[in-house]
Structure formats: structure tokens, C-alpha cells
Amino acid sequence: MIVIQSHEPPKFIQRSQAKIWIRTAILAVFGILFGITLFRDMLGGVIPWLVVIAVIVASLPLGFWMRRLVPMKVHSNSRFITLSFDKTYFILIWLLVIAKAIFSYLLHLPIPADVFMCIILGLMSGRLSGICLRVHRLKVENGFLERHALA
């Protein structure tokens, strides 16, 4: 019996390559929707732009740290890195979105709602950038890329 080993990754691995792009698209959608609302509230004097910037910047490190919670697996033969679903992050973002909706639509308190939007944007941005850097580091460490590829 002859076994031929293919260098092509299985289809499920090829699909996981798009997970960073999916995360980027989700961040873009949230960014546009929340950005429009935040901009409107800033122009209306509801929330100062310095508060918006401060909350987003303060949330970035936590989001960046959360990259460690994303399960990743290196597939040396096919030279792929796959990402798995992160339940902790998913639950946290949904709780923040629900809190934003409650403060915005039920309690009619725009300032806390805006703060929740800023936290969400900061967490999502920090986490996505952390994931990209972590994937790049794993690719370099496993010889998928040369060390100077990000320079």
C-alpha cells in the first residue's frame, strides 16, 4: 500500500486562514457604527473627545493582553497557523454590547453607553493587533517567514 502525503492543507485549515480577516471586518463594522455615534455625541457635547480617546487607549492594553487567550495551533507540514474560537472574549464583548444597549435604549444614559462603546473598540483593536503580532511571531519562530519580513 502506497500512501501519498499531500502538501496541501486540509480544507478546514485553509478556511481558518481567513479568521483574521473576519475579525478585521467585525472590527470595521463596529468601528463604523460606534464611530458615527461617538462622533455625533462628541459634536453634540454629550461626551468630550478626550474622554473617548482616554477610554479607548486605556482599553487597548487589556485587548492586547487578551490575544493570549486565543487558542492557536501550528501546522508545520502545511505551514499554517490556525486560530480557534475564544469564548471568554466572545462573552465579554456581548456583555459589553448588551450593557451599551441597556444604557442607551432602556435607561437613556448616553455617557455610559458611549464609554461602553469606547471600551469595546479599544478591546477589539488591541486584541486584533495582538493576534496579528502573535501569528507573525509564530510564523517566524517556525520558519514560515524570514525574521526581517516585518521590518
Asked if residue 148 belongs to a domain, the reply is: no
The pLDDT of residue 3 is: 44
- Cα dist. 42→52, 68, 102, 103, 140 in Å? 9, 34, 20, 17, 42
Asked if residue 24 belongs to a domain, the reply is: yes
The pLDDT of residue 24 is: 82
Phi, psi (degrees; rounded to nearest 5) at 83 = -110, 140
Predicted structure pTM score: 0.77
Asked if residue 54 belongs to a domain, the reply is: yes
Asked if residue 4 belongs to a domain, the reply is: no
Asked if residue 79 belongs to a domain, the reply is: yes
The pLDDT of residue 8 is: 52
What gap in Å lies between CA 73 and CA 138, rounded to an integer? 9
The pLDDT of residue 116 is: 94
The pLDDT of residue 27 is: 83
Burial of 121 (0-12, 13-18, 19+ CB in 10 A): buried
Asked if residue 116 belongs to a domain, the reply is: yes
Q: What are the pLDDT tens digits along the chain (151 aa)? A: 454 444 555 555 544 557 777 878 888 888 888 889 889 988 998 999 999 999 999 999 999 999 998 888 887 777 778 788 788 888 999 999 999 999 999 999 999 999 999 999 999 999 989 988 888 888 888 887 766 545 5
Which domain, by its residues, includes 87? 16-141
The pLDDT of residue 23 is: 79
